[in-house]
Structure 1
Amino acid sequence: MRRILVTGAAGFVGGHVLPLLARGPGRGGRVAGIGRGPAPSLPTGVAYARIDLLDAEALAGFVADFRPTAVLHLAGLASVADSASGPAQTWRVNVDGLLNLVAAMRAAPGCTLFFVSTGEVYGSAFLAGHALTEDAEPQPRNTYARSKWVGEQVLHDLLPRIGVKLVVLRPFNHIGPGQDERFVVASFAGQIARIEAGRAPPRLEVGNLTSRRDFLDVADVADAYARLIDRADDLPDGSVFNIGSGCPRTIASALDGLRAVARTPFEIHVAPERVRPAEIPLAAGDSGRLRAATGWAPRVAWEASLAGVLDDARARLAAAP
Structure 2
Amino acid sequence: MSHYLVTGVNGFVGQYFCRLLKNRETDLHIIGIDLDATTPCQDHGFEYRQVNLLTEPEAVLKVVVEFQPDYILNLAAVSSVSQSWKNPAACLAGNTGIYANLLEAVRQGCPDARILSVGSSEVYGDQPEGAMPLKETALLKPNNPYGISRVAQESLSRLYQESYGLQIMTTRSFNHIGPGQKEQFVIPSFVSQLVRIAESGKFGEITTGNIDLVRDFSDVRDVVDAYWRILKQGMSGEVYNVCSGKGIRLRDIICTVAEILEIKVITRTDETKIRPKDSKWIIGDNSRIKQSFGWEPEYALIQTLCDIISYRITE
TM-score of the pair, normalised by structure 2: 0.93
| TM-aligned CA deviation for residue 128 of structure 1 | 4.0
Match of 1:250 in 2: 249
C-alpha separation between the residues in 2 aligned to 1:34 and 1:309?
27
The amino acid that maps onto 1:260 is E
Match of 1:132 in 2: 134
Match of 1:83 in 2: 84
C-alpha separation between the residues in 2 aligned to 1:28 and 1:230?
15
| TM-aligned CA deviation for residue 160 of structure 1 | 4.0
More moved, 136-145 vs 32-41: 32-41
C-alpha separation between the residues in 1 aligned to 2:60 and 2:178?
29
Match of 1:52 in 2: 52
Deviations 1:20-76 (A, max 9, x none): 123305x63322211112302343322222212122122111111111111110110
CA contact under 8 A between 1:18 and 1:42: conserved in structure 2?
no
| TM-aligned CA deviation for residue 264 of structure 1 | 4.7
C-alpha separation between the residues in 2 aligned to 1:280 and 1:95?
23
Match of 2:307 in 1: 308
Match of 1:176 in 2: 178
Match of 1:152 in 2: 154
C-alpha separation between the residues in 2 aligned to 1:8 and 1:134?
25
Q: What are the ranges of 5 or more consecutive residues in structure 2 without an aligned counterpart?
A: none
Deviations 1:233-271 (A, max 9, x none): xx3321110011111011012111211222654332122
Query: Secondary structure, in 3 states, of the residue corresponding to 2:100?
Result: helix
C-alpha separation between the residues in 1 aligned to 2:265 and 2:126?
35
C-alpha separation between the residues in 2 aligned to 1:43 and 1:125?
43
The amino acid that maps onto 1:50 is Q
The amino acid that maps onto 2:6 is V
Relative distance call for 1:203 and 1:168 in structure 2 (3 A) is same
C-alpha separation between the residues in 2 aligned to 1:22 and 1:86?
37
C-alpha separation between the residues in 2 aligned to 1:207 and 1:305?
22
C-alpha separation between the residues in 2 aligned to 1:229 and 1:155?
15
Match of 1:260 in 2: 259
The amino acid that maps onto 1:226 is W
1:66 counterpart = 2:52: no
C-alpha RMSD of the superposition = 1.9
The amino acid that maps onto 1:8 is G
Match of 1:215 in 2: 217
The amino acid that maps onto 1:142 is N
C-alpha separation between the residues in 1 aligned to 2:131 and 2:277?
15
CA contact under 8 A between 1:179 and 1:186: conserved in structure 2?
yes
Q: Tell me the matched-pair count.
A: 311
C-alpha separation between the residues in 2 aligned to 1:87 and 1:175?
24
CA contact under 8 A between 2:72 and 2:114: conserved in structure 1?
yes
Match of 1:270 in 2: 269
Match of 2:196 in 1: 194
The amino acid that maps onto 1:3 is H
More moved, 130-139 vs 260-269: 260-269
Match of 1:165 in 2: 167
C-alpha separation between the residues in 2 aligned to 1:129 and 1:273?
30
Query: Secondary structure, in 3 states, of the residue corresponding to 1:34?
Result: strand
The amino acid that maps onto 2:15 is G
C-alpha separation between the residues in 1 aligned to 2:15 and 2:236?
27
1:12 counterpart = 2:12: yes
C-alpha separation between the residues in 2 aligned to 1:129 and 1:59?
40
| TM-aligned CA deviation for residue 276 of structure 1 | 2.7
| TM-aligned CA deviation for residue 193 of structure 1 | 2.9
The amino acid that maps onto 1:110 is D
Match of 1:319 in 2: none
CA contact under 8 A between 1:190 and 1:313: conserved in structure 2?
yes
Relative distance call for 1:263 and 1:49 in structure 2 (3 A) is farther
CA contact under 8 A between 2:51 and 2:59: conserved in structure 1?
yes
Deviations 1:157-179 (A, max 9, x none): 12444442110111100111121
CA contact under 8 A between 2:126 and 2:280: conserved in structure 1?
no
The amino acid that maps onto 1:119 is S
User: What's the % identity of the aligned pairs?
Assistant: 31
CA contact under 8 A between 2:143 and 2:278: conserved in structure 1?
no
CA contact under 8 A between 1:19 and 1:43: conserved in structure 2?
no
TM-score of the pair, normalised by structure 1: 0.91
